[in-house]
Amino acid sequence: MMIDAAWFLAGLVALIFGAEIMVRGGAEVAARLGISPIVIGLTVVSIGTSLPELAVGVVAVQEGSGALAVGNIAGTNVVNLLLILGLSALIVPLAMAGRTLRFELPVMAGAAVLMLVLSLDGKLTQTDGLILVAGAVAYTVALIRATRRETAAVVHEYDEEYPPEVGTVRTRTPLHVAMMIGGIAVVVIGADWLVDGAVGMARSFGISDALIGLTVVAIGTSAPELVTTVVSTIRGNRDIAIGNLLGSSIYNILLILGATCLVASEGLALPASLVRIDIPVMVAVALVCIPIFVSGRRVSRGEGGAMVGAYLAYLAFLLITQS
């Protein structure tokens, strides 16, 4: 048991460190290629903070723990939308940008519903993976087009967070590429350690892979999103905080889960509890965000506290009913 916990913690540290290095290197390389800061923030950073989920998913599938991979996606999105967003609103009430309400919010809800529909037969196939990845490509293209119509204030916010002049020195570009590759390698190694430790702990406690994915793994792999969102909130960059969180939640389903399905040659068999309870809970959380965001175009401290409370209640429900 102690050895499994040690492997889990070592893997978690490696995931967080590797994701941070990969995001920094990727942002620098993207800037060197002339990609605008707002596109870097909404795509490179969002995908980078979802990299731990991808690594965990691929490793879990290879080790025969597909339920852990899917549970991790569902659990991570609930953590993102209830716990992390709620904590951010408790720090500073979050005002909603027009792009968030018009574009990211409905896409996030649609992606959640799509995941539920594809999972109703109790299995996610490679064809389902293709559908999800195609959705990720379409979302990215639409997102890049949407940034061209963004307000000057939002563009300035991203310019300050991801300065366009960063990474323009040619001699530093190989270093940034090495950071990207090295970060990905560390994440992959960390995912292997984390999955081994998580599965070992699940076996020791006699609980399912899905439950361990929904709880400790989901909270652990959400660490990059937590750090990015809280730091952006404290700095007053509300659009970056919300954009990263929603973007990461969208990519988790469309890109990360899609790629995980493609790796699973025989598909991912889903436990009944995931299909009947946990994925519907994820969908419900995404849908509830719509009236919260639209009403007053902000998330107040009271709503943030209620979201954190709802997550703690859900966590207690999982531990009581599924352990």
What integer best gives the mean pLDDT of the chain? Answer: 83
Which pair of structure tokens corresponds to residue 305? Answer: 């506290």
Q: What is the pLDDT of residues 112-155, one digit of tens each?
A: 999 999 999 999 999 999 999 999 999 999 988 877 776 676 66
Beta-carbon contacts of residue 33 (< 8 Å; ≥ 6 apart): none
Residue range 184-213, pLDDT digits in tens:
788 778 877 877 887 787 777 777 778 888
Q: Which residue has the tokens 């293209």?
A: 141
- Could you tell me which residue, 153 or 269, shows the higher pLDDT? 269
Determine the pLDDT at residue 168: 47
Percent of the chain predicted with pLDDT > 90: 30
What pTM value is reported for the model?
Answer: 0.83
Cβ proximity of 250 and 143 under 8 Å: no
Over 80: is that where the pLDDT of 49 sits? no
- Give 171 or 104, the one with higher predicted confidence: 104
What pLDDT shows up at residue 126? 95
The H-or-E segment that residue 125 falls in is: none
pLDDT digit string (tens) for 16-29? 788 778 777 777 77
The DSSP result for 195-224, as a single string, is: HHHHHHHHHHHT--HHHHIIIIIHHHHTHH
Work out the average pLDDT over 170-185: 75
What DSSP string runs through 225-293? Answer: HHHHHHHHHHTT-HHHHHHHHHHHHHHIIIIIIHHHHHH-TT-EE--HHIIIIIHHHHHHHHHHHHHHH
pLDDT at 277 over 80: yes
Read off φ and ψ for residue 94, nearest 5 degrees.
-100, 115
The CATH class of the 2-322 domain is mainly alpha
Element (H, E) at 95: strand 94-95
Q: Which residues pair with 124 in a beta bridge?
A: 268
The domain locations on the chain are: 2-322
Q: Report percent pLDDT > 70 for the chain.
A: 88
